[in-house]
């Protein structure tokens, strides 16, 4: 089983050496590296070429920054390994990460992801995991362990690209092109959601923290709210983005959990822009048309909260 690692690089000289050495120190050898230079203007690629074996590395040069979605789409297509790992430039892999993932793939899974340990920009352990920071509930963790990823991923994303790998032969035209119509949605959400919607039984979650996930001010994606970001505007964008994302997934593959949550996000994205009276009418219609008990759950309570908060 050949192993490829796809790494997208963009001005990552501050931390990329640590990442590269952690790849080379894996207990199971990596057969191929696909490195996309997404228009870097620092010494990142010099470090990459000095550290990685050029005979095992495919270099893809992008003179203009295209962002992670297009970079990883291109890198995955270029990869020739049976198993393709996605990799961020500022993290550190635990020495047994690849070996642990391959054991899961040998059990027949097509998509595997893990938890991560959070560190700061100086590499100091923050005593918190990726799942802890996302506030992933015990119930959702159990669902993931029971191969019910569609029940979780149709509601929210808990997968980081830095923590996942896929079976190349499981990719078909359903996955391409990667989503680029939805604001603030990245490749990891798209890939994970599609695997979950198509065949959740073949999506495996490893609860171990198999990378050190670095939080720093210059990272492309993190947990911090951006400066000058209006929380109300951010909420509107999020609701509409969720509806659009699930709609696009349903255009390519049918799944009961994604269908149900598309209706929920559609109602929520409409409610935030409606006058209060219209929201009440919508609410009453929803209660009359649907089984009340089935709607008294956390997402529905969140919908009620929005209705009454946005008078």
Residue ranges in 158-230 assigned as alpha helix (H)? 187-198
Q: Name the one residue in this structure whose structure tokens are 């590395």.
A: 57
Tell me, yes or no, whether 201 and 88 share the same domain: yes
pLDDT given at position 311? 46
pLDDT given at position 270? 77
pLDDT given at position 164? 98
Tell me, yes or no, whether 57 and 203 share the same domain: yes
Tell me, yes or no, whether 25 and 168 share the same domain: yes
pLDDT given at position 226? 46
Instruction: State the burial class of residue 46 (Cβ atoms within 10 Å of its Cβ: 0-12, 13-18, 19+).
Output: exposed
Stated pTM of the model: 0.86
* 223 falls within a domain: no
In sequence order, what E strands does the chain have? Answer: 3-9, 32-38, 57-62, 83-87, 92-93, 111-119, 125-129, 164-167, 203-214
Tally of residues, the chain: 311
Question: What is the rounded distance in angstroms from the CA atom of residue 168 to the CA atom of residue 175?
Answer: 11
pLDDT given at position 190? 96
* 191 falls within a domain: yes
One pLDDT digit (tens) per residue for the chain, 311 residues: 999 999 999 999 999 999 999 999 999 999 999 999 999 999 999 999 999 999 999 999 988 889 999 999 999 999 999 999 999 999 999 999 999 999 999 999 999 999 999 999 999 999 999 999 999 999 999 999 999 999 999 999 999 999 999 999 999 999 999 987 887 789 999 999 999 999 999 999 999 999 999 998 776 555 544 445 555 677 788 888 999 999 999 999 999 999 999 988 888 887 776 665 566 666 677 676 665 555 555 666 666 666 666 54
User: Which domain, by its residues, includes 258?
Assistant: 231-309
Tell me, yes or no, whether 185 and 145 share the same domain: yes
* 93 falls within a domain: yes
Tell me, yes or no, whether 117 and 237 share the same domain: no
* Contact partners, residue 216, CB within 8 Å, separation at least 6: 14, 15, 90, 120, 121, 222
Tell me, yes or no, whether 148 and 267 share the same domain: no
Which CATH number belongs to the domain containing residue 191 in this structure?
3.90.550.10
The domain total for the chain is 2
Q: Indicate left, alpha or beta for 131 from its phi (over 0: left) and psi (-120 to 50: alpha).
A: alpha
Tell me, yes or no, whether 280 and 154 share the same domain: no
Tell me, yes or no, whether 179 and 292 share the same domain: no
């Amino acid at each position: 089983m050949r192993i490829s690692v796809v790494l997208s690089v963009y001005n990552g000289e501050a931390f990329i050496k640590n990442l590269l050495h952690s790849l080379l120190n894996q207990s199971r050898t990596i057969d191929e590296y696909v490195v996309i230079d997404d228009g870097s203007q620092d010494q990142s690629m010099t470090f990459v070429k000095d550290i990685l074996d050029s005979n095992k590395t495919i270099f893809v040069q992008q003179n203009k920054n295209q962002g992670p979605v297009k970079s990883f789409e291109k890198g995955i297509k270029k990869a020739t390994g049976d198993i393709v790992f996605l990799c961020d430039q500022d993290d550190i892999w635990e020495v047994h990460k690849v070996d642990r993932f391959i054991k899961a793939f040998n059990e027949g899974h097509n998509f595997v992801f893990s938890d991560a340990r959070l560190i700061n920009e100086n590499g100091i352990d923050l005593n918190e995991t990726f799942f802890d920071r996302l506030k992933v509930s015990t119930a959702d963790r159990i669902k993931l362990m029971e191969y019910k990823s569609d029940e979780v991923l149709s509601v929210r994303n808990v997968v980081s690209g830095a923590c996942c790998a896929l079976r190349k032969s499981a990719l078909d035209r359903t996955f391409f092109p990667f989503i680029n119509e939805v604001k603030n949605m990245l490749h990891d959400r798209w890939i994970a959601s599609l695997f979950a919607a198509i065949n959740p039984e073949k999506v495996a979650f490893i609860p171990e923290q198999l990378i050190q996930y670095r939080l720093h001010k210059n990272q492309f994606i993190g947990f911090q709210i951006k400066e000058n970001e209006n929380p109300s505007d951010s909420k509107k964008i999020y609701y509409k983005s969720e509806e659009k994302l699930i709609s696009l997934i349903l255009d390519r593959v049918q799944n009961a959990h994604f269908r149900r949550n598309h209706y929920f996000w559609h109602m929520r994205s409409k409610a935030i822009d409606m006058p209060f009276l219209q929201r009440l009418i919508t609410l009453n219609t929803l209660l009359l048309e649907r089984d009340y008990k089935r709607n008294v759950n956390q997402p529905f309570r969140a919908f009620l909260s929005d209705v009454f908060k946005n008078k």
